[in-house]
């Protein structure tokens, strides 16, 4: 079975109301999808993230001419080669080829990976808490309240972009709205040094509802994470920008984190992503995906969580949650699955068991103009 055709779909949405985190304000959201078709008629979708200009140029000048005529079954060899040309593009190609292989065999992608342990996976509502409005704290708190009313149980909010005092005021205001059993994730986007991160210690001391503190430090400071982990009263998480399974090893070996947060778009290729999850299990460190960009990537992350062994014999049904972008972003709706009471019931069927909304592909098509 050989690759017959590759189509590309660069999508852009300019945000009417920018939002952001400690890294600054976002003024647009982008999405880059590909659809690979084999000569058997089977097809698969893939997704990647990078500048639309760079992706589009590389796909059309190098990657598509290389892929046409190649064997779908040689997925890992092809990914190895594409990785050298454009690592981010390799993620999209790996997803599309995995879907074609599964569809051709009449299987679901989870079956290719050895089958599911569960059909439901929890998700957390993920926010970019900052805006350019003076009342950002109030807006953020109200957004969490609305998601709680819709059934979400877990919420990620941002810290690290304002003074610690302002951020703690914000977290206290959200905490007051939570019902029993709801939990919070605080994400600092690598804003602090160890001394500043320890400024959160007393605040977090009696907050059992904090599920984890994410990336208080630059992720390269492995030893400092190890020290911080011994001194902080809440679990630590990180690693969303790490690009290879092996690059998580220092974090595992130094017992620097309680959770790793690999992103299927940053760890190059879906096979490498699965290897990362299994390494987490081998080292007894929990794995919770970062999936802020893209509905297809999130679907793959949900399937990977569904196919992952439980982390505990005591809680065989428990599984770490998947990130669910709760901000203004139409691309989260490219696939129609929605959480109910904070959980997603996973589609069955062959391939990925879901279709991409094609009307959205034409509505949001990037026209090639500059947007950054």
Residues making contact with Mg ion (CB under 5 A): 187, 214
Q: In the annotation, is 158 catalytic? A: yes
Cα(344)–Cα(118) distance, rounded to whole angstroms?
A: 11
**Nearest residue to Mg ion, using CB?**
187
CB nearer to Mg ion: pick between 122 and 238: 238
| Least gap, CB of 248 to Mg ion (angstroms) | 15
CB nearer to Mg ion: pick between 91 and 189: 189
Q: Give me the residues paired with residue 14 across strands.
A: 28
| Least gap, CB of 124 to Mg ion (angstroms) | 12
Q: Give me the residues paired with residue 162 across strands.
A: none
Strands annotated E in the chain: 3-21, 24-38, 43-48, 120-126, 130-131, 154-158, 183-187, 210-214, 236-238, 259-260, 286-287, 322-325, 343-345
| DSSP secondary structure letter of residue 248 | G
| Least gap, CB of 292 to Mg ion (angstroms) | 8
| Least gap, CB of 351 to Mg ion (angstroms) | 30
Of the candidates 65, 66, 115, 72, which has an alpha carbon nearest to the alpha carbon of residue 95? 72
Cα(276)–Cα(263) distance, rounded to whole angstroms?
A: 10
214: left (phi over 0), alpha (psi -120 to 50) or beta: beta
Residue 132: count other Cβ atoms within 10 Å of its Cβ: 10
Residue 37: count other Cβ atoms within 10 Å of its Cβ: 16
Is the CB of residue 130 less than 8 Å from the CB of residue 19? yes
Task: Return the SS3 of 191.
Answer: coil
CB nearer to Mg ion: pick between 101 and 129: 129
CB nearer to Mg ion: pick between 225 and 366: 225
**Of 108, 156, 158, 266, which one is the catalytic site residue?**
158
CB nearer to Mg ion: pick between 101 and 126: 126
Cα(61)–Cα(317) distance, rounded to whole angstroms?
A: 47
Is the CB of residue 33 less than 8 Å from the CB of residue 47? yes
CB nearer to Mg ion: pick between 87 and 160: 160
Check the CA dihedral 60-371-363-147 and report its sign.
positive
| Least gap, CB of 22 to Mg ion (angstroms) | 9
| Least gap, CB of 68 to Mg ion (angstroms) | 37
CB nearer to Mg ion: pick between 214 and 258: 214
Of the candidates 363, 214, 366, 349, which has an alpha carbon nearest to the alpha carbon of residue 292? 214
Tokens of 251: 């974090």
Is the CB of residue 113 less than 8 Å from the CB of residue 143? no
**Of 83, 86, 108, 290, which one is the catalytic site residue?**
290
Cα(139)–Cα(368) distance, rounded to whole angstroms?
A: 33
Q: Would you name the residues annotated as active-site residues?
A: 158, 290
């Amino acid at each position: 079975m050989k690759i017959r055709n590759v189509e590309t779909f660069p999508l852009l949405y300019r945000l009417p109301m920018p939002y952001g985190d400690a890294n600054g304000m976002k003024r647009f959201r982008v999405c880059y999808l590909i659809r690979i078709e084999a000569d058997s008629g089977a097809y698969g979708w893939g997704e990647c993230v990078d500048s639309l200009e760079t992706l589009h140029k590389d796909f059309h000048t190098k990657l598509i001419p290389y892929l046409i005529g190649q064997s779908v079954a040689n997925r890992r060899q092809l990914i190895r080669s594409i990785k050298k040309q454009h690592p981010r593009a390799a993620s999209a190609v790996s997803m599309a080829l995995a879907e074609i292989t599964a569809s051709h065999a009449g299987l679901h992608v989870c079956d290719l990976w050895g089958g599911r342990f569960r059909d439901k996976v929890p998700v957390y509502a993920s926010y970019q808490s900052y805006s350019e409005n003076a009342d950002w704290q109030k807006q953020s708190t109200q957004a969490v309240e609305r998601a709680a009313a819709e059934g979400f149980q877990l919420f990620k909010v941002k810290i690290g972009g304002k003074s610690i005092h302002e951020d703690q005021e914000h977290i206290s205001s959200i905490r007051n709205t939570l019902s029993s059993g709801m939990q919070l994730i605080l994400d600092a986007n690598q804003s602090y040094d160890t001394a500043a991160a320890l400024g959160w210690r007393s605040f977090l001391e009696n907050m059992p509802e904090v599920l984890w503190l994410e990336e208080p430090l630059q992720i390269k400071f492995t030893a400092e994470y190890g020290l911080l982990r011994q001194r902080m009263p809440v679990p630590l998480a990180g690693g969303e920008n790490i690009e290879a399974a092996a690059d998580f090893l220092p974090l595992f070996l130094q017992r620097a984190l309680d959770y790793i947060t690999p992103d299927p778009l940053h760890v190059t290729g879906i096979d490498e992503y699965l290897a990362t999850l299994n390494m987490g299990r081998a080292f007894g460190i929990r794995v919770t995906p970062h999936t802020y960009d893209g509905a297809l990537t999130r679907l793959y992350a949900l399937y990977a969580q569904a196919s992952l062994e439980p982390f505990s014999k005591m809680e065989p049904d428990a599984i770490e949650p998947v990130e669910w972008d709760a901000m203004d972003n139409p691309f989260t709706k490219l696939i129609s699955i929605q959480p109910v009471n904070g959980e997603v019931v996973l589609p069955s069927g062959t391939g990925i068991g879901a279709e991409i909304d094609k009307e959205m592909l034409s509505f949001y098509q990037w026209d090639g103009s500059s947007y950054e």
